[in-house]
Every structure is written in structure tokens, then in C-alpha cells.
Structure 1
């Protein structure tokens, strides 16, 4: 009887250990690094133009459509706060994006740059997905950068498939942009 009780207790601790381990492996991590030491507040009445960054690359792999995905994530976050927010249709250089924003009377230009984009088969390789994006917010009238931030995301190890780098950006991008209003 005593041995049976020890066996149940051991089984309980083994199961608890597995649950804790898997819980830790599924947790995505985020990092927000401010590149300017200022606190700004954007006006919701001013329109926002979000340019499309170049697609992310890792080594020889080009993640086609990742630039558009990143812009859509940023658009969704700005749409909650601004009366008008739109994205470009294709990649533009900074100068071209700023010219477009000025000519079309946008109040702010949001110029994202993909710094890191790794879509891995994490569930079997043990290598996490990663995404890093720099977001610069420019006053269209003056052309000056008002704020700039680098947002990094890294998946947990037990993703159970289906996760992608863009999935790592929605929450921290939204939190950052909400803080600007």
C-alpha cells in the first residue's frame, strides 16, 4: 500500500514537471528597444501612411510577402487609434515614401524595416521563429523622425506547428502603437 502511494506521488510530479516544461516552451518572448529617448503623443485626427518594407531575408531565403505582412500588422494597430491609416502597395525607399506621404497630405509616415525574419520548423528542429522590425514614425510636414523603436519577437520551442514570424509581432506592435495615443 505504501509503495502504491509513492508511485502515485511520483507520477503526479512527473506529469507536473512535463506540464511546466511544455508551458515554458510554448511561451513567446518579446522585446521593445527604443532608439529615441522621447515620449510622444500622436494626434488621432492626423492620417497615417505606412510604407511597405523590403521582404525579410535569412541567408539565401527570401520570405516573399513578409514586408506586406509586417505593414498589415502595423496598419491594424494604427486603425484602432487613428481616424485614417493606409499602407502603400509596394516597397518604397524612405525618400519616395516621404514624398508620397507629403503629396497626399498624410500627417505621419510610418517607415518599417524588417531586421530579422526566420520562419523555422520549430516543432521538430528546436530552432525558434524570430522576427525583428524597426518602426520609425516621421512627421510628414517637417520630415523629422519623432520616434523610433525596434520590436523583437521569438517563439517558444513547443509551437505545435503553424506559427510564423508575423505571429510574433502583432501583440508588441499593437502595445507600442497604443502607447503613442
Structure 2
């Protein structure tokens, strides 16, 4: 009688757990960032799912990246305007930056998981670019999926800090 109860408890608790991961691209440079590098983080365009645009999701993503980089470097800024790769690189060059961090929201899905049993999901591609040469130092995808039993209050941006922190840590 205890074994079925234990299995049910394990299944219920595993539904509570969020999953996060960092998937690096295959072509990763061995170049490490310096704590003195001047870094600019581009704000990505807000995420969408279907016809719904998640206002502020681009700003939230840039702020999570800012927090991770600011722990390691003093010269970190966020460009508050969403822009294309070419425009972001040009702005970085004009402002004398060493590194451009270019995030792109690939998937952003904020669900009422506690009622729908459909998890929140997020995927953000992040490229770290040497401004002087335009070469990609590192890139990959930070992704996450909420557990089923969230009890409300969880959002896709809550799934990003762990994989982003792991990624930024690997750059220094």
C-alpha cells in the first residue's frame, strides 16, 4: 500500500520542478571576457506566442542578462531600444564598447499553468560579439519550462536566470 502512495507523491512533486538549460552552439571560441571589457546588452524585441505579444519581455530579458554580467564587469550598460544585429553592432562601435550581447527571444509562452496544466516556456538565443571584429565569441540558447504545479505567480522570465548565469559564468 505504501509503494503506490510513494509513487504518486514522487510524480506530483516532479510536476512542481522547473527545468532550465543552456545549449551552447557548436562553434564556440575559447576567448574569455575580461572584467575591464565595456559590455553593451541589446534589448530584444518582445516575445510573442500566437497573436499575443508579451509586453516588457524584451526588457526583462535584457535586465536578467545585465544582472549576470554586472556581477563580473563594471562597465555594463543596456541599450533600451530593440534593434537589429547591424544597428546594435553599429551603436556598440559608436559608443566605444568592447562586447555586444545580442539576445533574441525565440519562444515566450506565459500560461495559467495552475489551471490549464500547460507549462510556461521560454527560449532565448544569446550571442556574445567582439565589437571590433564582429566575430561571435560565444552563442547558444537559454531555455526553460515551468513545472505543472506552479500555484500561480511563475512567468517565463523566472526560468531564465539559472541558464543565463551558467552561460555568463563560462565566459570569464
Same fold (TM over 0.5): yes
- Answer whether contact 1:36 1:147 (CA < 8 A) is retained: no
Instruction: Check the 8 A contact 2:22/2:166 in 1, yes or no.
Output: no
Structure 2 CA distance, aligned partners of 1:55 and 1:19?
A: 38
Equivalence for 1:64: 55
1:22 corresponds in structure 2 to 12
| 8 Å Cα contact 2:37/2:75 also seen in 1 | yes
Task: Specify the alignment match of 1:79 in structure 2.
Answer: 70
Runs of 4 or more consecutive aligned structure 1 residues displaced over 2 Å after TM superposition: 12-19, 36-40
Q: Is the 8 A contact 1:58 1:118 kept in 2?
A: yes
Looking at structure 2, the residues matched to 14 and 124 of structure 1 have their Cα atoms a distance apart, in angstroms, of 25
Q: Which residue of 2 aligns with 1:35?
A: 25
User: 1:149 Cα shift?
Assistant: 0.7
Q: Describe the SS at the equivalent of 2:126.
A: strand
2:87 is equivalent to residue 93 of structure 1: no
**Unaligned stretches of 5+ residues in structure 1:** 1-9
CA contact (8 A) 2:89 2:100 kept: yes
Larger Cα-atom Rg: 1
Aligned length: 171
TM-score normalized by structure 2? 0.94
Larger helix percent: 1
Taking structure 1 as the reference length, what is the TM-score of the superposition?
0.89
Q: Which of 39, 46, 50 pairs up with 2:37?
A: 46
Q: What is the CA–CA distance in structure 2 between the aligned matches of 1:18 and 1:122, rounded to whole Å?
A: 20
RMSD across aligned positions (CA): 1.3
Gap runs ≥5 in structure 2: none
More displaced, 76-85 or 31-40?
31-40
Whole-angstrom CA distance in 1 between matches of 2:130 and 2:88: 12
